[in-house]
Chain A
Amino acid sequence: MSPQPAGSVRLGISGVSKQYPGCLANDNVSFEAGAGEIVALLGENGAGKSTLVKIAYGLVAPDAGRIEIDGHPAALTSPAAARAAGIGVVFQHFSLFDSLTVLENISLGLDTPAARANLADRIREIGTRYGLSVEPDSIVADLSVGERQRVEIVRVLLQDPSILIFDEPTSVLTPQAIEGLFGTLRQLRDEGRAIVFISHKLDEIMSLCDRVTVLRGGRVVGSVPIGETNTKALAQMMIGHEVPDVAQRRDLAGGPVRLAARGLTMSSQNPHAPGLQNVTLEARGGEILGIAGVAGNGQEDLLAALSGERLAATETAIELEGAPVGRLGPGARRKAGMAFVPGERLGRGAVPPMSLSDNGFLTAHWRLPLVRRGVLSARAGAEFADRVIERFQVATRSRATAAQALSGGNLQRFIVGREVLSEPSVLIVAYPTWGVDVAAVAAIHEALIGLRDAGAAIVLMSEDLDELLALSDRIAVLYSGRMSAPLPIADCGKERLGLLMSGATDAEAAGGASHAA
């Protein structure tokens, strides 16, 4: 890294445009990051953040515009060229081989063989200097998500980049791990590097960054110092209008147990996931049971076991409205009152090339009279799709539009709407607002609360603690395939949940949280 006076522009992007078929991803975007500052790049999904990162890292060639590094024009024709120019990127999705060691993974990513000399020592040294301790000889599969992210950061730091870009780095971390990451980022900033922090979490940006640049619809809508703004103003810049408030929680006495898992044990199909060990949960009518946890702790298996995509070992391991359903598939469970919003919208929750009309049938036909004697009723299907589109304000030209043509937020509105309008008594929801625009988040939260108030039991799985805290009546934590006893929302501090998410026992978490408080 070449020394530069504080405040001088290290990364200067000016007038960058990128056209994809049917979508202008970046429209005359200009962006600067100076030496010794952390600049947030804020925007909703689809605002053009990822495209800008890909351009800066040489993965995508812009149609127009120029990039300067330390004041000199740079031709970033490939990631190797970008790395040579001093740019390092820590991506949201890690590119690590699970079965290799940390050392092997880092070694594979290096551009020159010379860089491999004394690699293990240098990994340890960087680890000590920046609080990123990782053992070079451990196997990646054994590492937590936070540790894997450290490996990615160490890998990037080995090249001593002057410009560091972090793409949504906190989305998979516990609150404690986020604090640790922020410490590292501040240290890197103070060394005179330029840090670009990409996020849509306003609180994090306010506490970490020095300046924020907001993207909307591929254009820069503003760039302001953190001291001159607040979360409300930023949210408004990001979505273009006022943020609707989520309806308030109302206290309900516990209704009947609608969904129960009793001693559910299951091995995982993914060799690196922990499976489920003796998971017990009860969701009552009129409540939202939140399930917190860091990804990869058995979430996929629990969802598949509850929805019926994977059958339990015994009938009684899962009960729906008091009846044993452990050996029944998704169709039979839906008939008995269940509905399910999966985490993956396109390709699981909806069939990408099919119309919204056809996608309405997908699950609703189990519960609503959309099929007569094996023949689909086109009229009933169209009416149902229209009802979902209208009630959930899905922005689409018509019900004949293909699911893949909808934005993430609109498709999620449609899927949540389809499940809610199937009038279930139990709804299982996974990551309902992941990558969804703020207006859709509010609409989805409102729908969940409405369904809860109508007496349904809702199981909400989310990686977003704020979302869980805002909606849930009780929260349980899934760690390494085991479920903690659910805590009433009043007892759910972020600190305590964070400890549970990193494997503390209930008693330890309760003690640790009160100690910290």
Chain B
Amino acid sequence: MPLRLVPRTRPSRLAQYGAPVLALVFTVAFGFVLFLSIGRDPWAALHAYFVAPISSAFGLSELLLTALPLALIGLGLAIGFRANVWNIGAEGQLLLGAIGGGAVALALWGEGVPGTFVLVCLTGALAGMAWAAIPAFLKTRFNANEILTSLMLIYVADHLLSWLVHGALRNPQGFGFPESRLFSPEALMPILWPGTRLHIGWLLLPVAAVAIWFMSRHTLAGYRLRVSGLSPNAAAYAGFSQPQSVWISFLLTGALAGLVGAMEVAGPVGQLLPEISPGYGFAAIIVAFLGRLSPLGVVLAAHLLALILIGGENVQLLGVPIAVAQLFQGVLLVAVLASDVLVRYRIVRIGQLETDEAAA
């Protein structure tokens, strides 16, 4: 029974929503075999992945806390990617946000200024924007490839953070460890959900998602970004300048990534460390595409990715090697992206094709 892929004339609604579900079912079946083959109880492993993280209040709060940075950065990236602006350096912008926010928190350390955390967040966002402005300037002024410049600036940011926590921002009473002081309480993000680490920064997520959806769908600036992405020639014809798209995309993502960086150090981390992000800026690229570059999709994708990140840590407690945990995560992502084929194509048996055409 030969099968053939035939392009759909229009994307199918059913496939659009059904494809991710199918991908999940496939991944679970694959995981079942995978965990069985390494001699672990597949039920326990799958439980650890998909049920344990959300079966307790604390687990749920951790899921939301992990999804927050992924979603915020993913929202910004999705806007840029739609406009064909490829900011790969959100991780660096996040680090600069952490440095900027952290520097404010440390400068006001022990001063007891109420609401310091607001200043920390604002400074973080500005620092992230400033870092993002560098590739934007190089792109618009010299037409330098923004993929390379933004990516390279991650390493610069990483070393800058490392240099600072080894030097200027190191805790004077820290026995020479490369760490800053623990921030004072007024510089820390107030806790939203008592008894967990979920802080009020989470409230920004729905605000940002709605604001970005509105910007993209209903404002002239968002319209221009969409046109530039879909058809650069049409954008040039209509008189939309490419530099404007580049600047808006970079500054928006830079601000969100910087904000995330500041909220990480003023939230769950509580100080400046040489390593403050487990690669949120990179994972957010996956989140943006997984969410099909739409705000709602990005928010959902961020929570899915957070779930498997936390699940991956859980199964390691069951004795599953980290490599297998990562393999499973990889399979889930590949399955979700591959299921996209069903949205754009339909599967037809060769014999059936002819009868379809006869009917048409």
A: which residues have CB within 8 A of B?
19, 21-22, 24, 63, 307-309, 329-334, 340, 342, 344, 347-354, 358, 361-363, 365-366, 371, 374-376, 378
Contact = CB atoms under 8 A, between A and B. Distances in A.
A331 B239 contact: yes
Contacts of B239: 308-309, 329-334, 363, 366
Nearest to A308: B239
Contacts of A19: 357, 360
B241 interface: yes
Interface in B203-232: 218-221, 223, 226-227, 230-231
Contacts of B219: 374-376
A366 B240 CA distance: 11
A22 B7 CA distance: 10
A329 B238 CA distance: 10
Contact of A358 (B7, B221, B223): B223
A348 B6 contact: no
Interface of B: 6-9, 218-221, 223, 226-227, 230-231, 233-234, 236-241, 354, 357, 360
24 contacts: A21-B7, A24-B357, A63-B357, A308-B239, A309-B239, A329-B239, A340-B237, A344-B233, A347-B233, A347-B234, A348-B234, A349-B234, A352-B230, A352-B231, A362-B227, A365-B220, A366-B239, A371-B220, A374-B219, A374-B221, A375-B219, A376-B218, A376-B219, A376-B220
A-B pairs with lowest CB-CB distance, top 7:
A330-B239, A331-B239, A22-B9, A348-B233, A19-B357, A351-B231, A362-B238
A366 B238 CA distance: 9
Main secondary structure of the interface of B (DSSP, over half): helix
A63 B7 CA distance: 17
A329 B223 contact: no
A361 B234 CA distance: 12
Contact of B234 (A24, A332, A350, A371): A350
Nearest to A340: B237
A24 B356 CA distance: 12
A19 B355 CA distance: 12
Contact of B9 (A21, A308, A344): A21
A349 to B, nearest CB: 7
Contacts of A353: 230
A240 B202 CA distance: 64
Chain A CB within 10 Å, residue with most, of B218, B226, B239: B239
A479 B220 CA distance: 40
A432 to B, nearest CB: 15
A500 B350 CA distance: 57
Contacts of B227: 351, 354, 362
B162 to A, nearest CB: 42
A318 to B, nearest CB: 15
A374 B220 contact: yes
B243 to A, nearest CB: 11
A347 B231 contact: yes
Given A376-B220, A376-B223, A348 B237 contact: yes
Nearest to A370: B220
B218 A378 contact: yes
A331 B235 CA distance: 11
B234 to A, nearest CB: 5
Contacts of B354: 63
Contacts of B7: 21
A309 B230 CA distance: 18
Contacts of B360: 19, 24
